[in-house]
Amino acid sequence: MAKSKDKAVEVKYQVLQWGPCIVHLKISEDFQQKLLKGAEEARKKKKDFRSNLAGIIKEEYSYEDRKDYVDEIAQFLTVYDAAYQKWKSEEYKVKPEYILNSLWVNFMKKGEYNPPHDHSDFLSFVIFLKVPEEITKEQDEFVGNSAGPGSLSFLYGEGNRQSITYQSVKPKERDIFIFPAWIKHYVAPFYSDVTRISVSGNIMDSVKISQVRIANELAAKQAQKLETKDEGK
């Protein structure tokens, strides 16, 4: 609870948490270099990943060996789990069991962008490996009421008054953002003749997958029983 500073009236209020949980962290320089090395290897082998993505970006490549990065990413997910449970004031009833389903690198250039889209898994993340100073300068000089060039924006809810329907950030090097995969998000273009390198990934929850599979199997069995019952009439 908090109190208004206005001495004429004493008002107690509480702000209720609402919406999805997004966590911002920093990766280490060592992990940054490891990811950059893997990114260049993926680029040389031209493991094109664009057919799986929404981005208007010419160079998007899949990492060859996702397992090489699992241990580090697991550390970030542990932090996300702790933050989520604190944010929701509730512990997990069933702890998620995460699987790194996909990992790819984006070499984003002048005028390229990601339109509003979401992902199909449980959690997603993006890590910014290289952010040229020219993009930061563009953002500092930008005049307007949007987040500006090269920004990352998350969309949630309806555009009503008294509500915040989006969060925008200006990514810095070694930033990682972890968020529910179903959140709509987009990346604005920048206009400097440089390349920004980011890595994105999708995380599955094997527990959720098992629960859905069991539910589907039960529903199928129930439907089969009803069909058999109808046939017997």
Q: What is the pLDDT of residue 206?
A: 73
94: confidence class by pLDDT, cuts 50, 70, 90: confident
For residues 49-74, give the mean pLDDT.
Answer: 94
Arithmetic mean of pLDDT, 136-165: 88
**Domains, in order of start, for the chain:** 19-205 (2.60.120.620)
Label each residue of the chain as H, E or C.
Answer: CEECCCCCCCCEECCCCCCCCCEEEECCHHHHHHHHHHHHHHHHHCCECHHHCCCECCEEEECCCHHHHHHHHHHHHHHHHHHHHHHHCCCCCCCCCEEEEEEEEEEEECCCEEEEECCCCCEEEEEEEECCHHHHHHHHHCCCCCCCCCCEEEECCCCCCCCCCEEEECCCCCEEEEEECCCEEEECCCCCCCEEEEEEEEEEEHHHHHHHHHHHHHHHHHHHHHHHHHHCC
Residue 228 pLDDT exceeds 60: no
| Average pLDDT score over the chain | 86
